[in-house]
Amino acid sequence: MSGVLVIDVGTSSVRAAVVDEDGSVRHVSRRATPTSVPFPGLVEFDPAVIATAALDAAAETQAAYGARPAAVGVTTQRASTVAWDAATGAAIGPGLGWQDLRTVGKCLELQASGLRFSPSESATKFAWHVSEAAGAEVAGAGAALRLGTVDSWIVWNLTGGDRHITDATNAGVTGLFDASTGGWRPQALAALGLEAAWLPEVVDSSGELGRATALGGLPIAALVGDQQASLVGQSCTRPGLAKATFGTGGMLDMCLGPEPPAGEVTTEHGCFPIVAWRVGGAVTWGSEAIMLAAGTAVDWLVEDLGVLAGAADSEAVAGECDDTGGVVMVPALLGLGTPQWDFGARGAVFGLTRGSGRPQLVRAVLEGVAHSGADLLEATEQDTGRRIDALRVDGGMSANSVFVQALADACDRRIEVSPELEATTLGAGYLAGLATGAWSGLDEIASAWRPQRVVEPSGRDPGRDRWREATERAGRWYPDLSGISF
């Protein structure tokens, strides 16, 4: 059987690759799809650029493969939104990135009526699109209007407008989805002035989902959000298995199983439930914990301080010292996520002395992200009642050996590094392969895990008590923002 063609749409680039039956990822093609920040807090992208990049990268990979793939799998950034005109297929205005904060006021306004939405969810972004579409030539923002997350937009373009769909993992982070019914929540739609007809049909994450006429009629066999794809790509398909992705931010996800969680909101430990995947109409649930800044903290060293020439240099520079000399960096550049959820916290560096130099600062940043990762692990364990014996990791920072050792020490757990730096592609390939018969089931995927390397805790004291004190001091720097919760 042929391999699976995967389209992987991230925040700043599109990747296409073939996932073969042995789990190898080959013939990778990339296209840059930069976002724009027209004003602090606003994050936009050009939907047409993303669609073109996805189709071009997929065609290039298919040509390099030299055979007809068995199917197409699609994985995308979650919660980012697009509005378009069904009659012309053209996007209406910019797409809104998941980090876009222009709807914070709307979220706070709706809290007064008992409806809680986060600005990082799609719900209030959709409402913004509707208000913008009202002034465009879109049948009065009526029957021709289509709203969707990035996966919906990509599938619309792959199928030539034949399919307007999203899967349950992407629907689950819109703030509008009712997993118990498999549809949209009428009360939430009404509060936001949204029509169900504008929104996509919610489908399984794996199955017969449509035909990619733009790619010669290949069947679309998987549709999944990026973090859930990474969970599957790191073979965390049995309850209790967990992975963490350290990219721009950081997210720790655990597979929980078929039992729905007690609630649908952020828990007392700062985690929240997610749909891990839906296959054959059956939902598998997961838990997610979020770090707002991971690789962003390293980028700060490069782009803002000029301490490093590039992010990859952080490993060698941090390796020039054995420890930070007492320096602690809290990477709360965008606030703190799990477990505190303090939007008024800010990044802080403590313990500087005249002897503190470049290596100590760089190591402190890497260790700060590692401590934040340990916070995610502890919150997840407290929330789920399950111990994580080994944490699987992917993302750009997983290639940094100094960081991975610091993570093992802070978590006091074995760290298993993914053989694929970006396990999202592999996860979408696995889910598509379930539909085509390349893999017999989720147990076979669970058994396929082969870490690139395993890192054990060194046994040295990672300084967790000092870290907790530093985090406390970095909190509530802007009390008004700290008082906001979603």
Mean pLDDT of 210-231: 98
Q: Is the pLDDT of residue 136 over 60?
A: yes
User: Model pTM?
Assistant: 0.95
Contacts of 42 (CB under 8 A, 6+ apart): 100, 101, 102
Q: Please, which pLDDT band fits residue 365 given cuts at 50, 70 and 90?
A: very high
Helices (H), 144-184: 150-158, 168-171
pLDDT in tens, 240-290: 999 999 998 999 999 999 998 876 678 999 999 999 999 999 999 999 999
pLDDT tens for each residue of 310-330: 999 999 999 999 999 999 999
Q: Domains for the chain: give ranges and CATH numbers.
A: 4-226 (3.30.420.40), 247-417+456-486 (3.30.420.40)
DSSP secondary-structure letter at 260?
P
3-state helix vs strand vs coil in the chain, percent to 5: 35, 25, 40
Mean pLDDT of 453-457: 98
Evaluate whether 27 touches 61 at the Cβ level (below 8 Å): yes
Tell me if 276 sits within 8 A of 286, measured CB to CB: yes
- 107-130 b/e with 16+ CB inside 10 Å = b? beebeeeebebbbbbbbbbbbbbb
Confidence at 140, pLDDT banded by 50, 70, 90 = very low
For residue range 179-199, list pLDDT tens digits in order.
989 999 999 999 999 999 999
Cα 186 off chain centre by: 27
Three-class SS of residue 244? strand
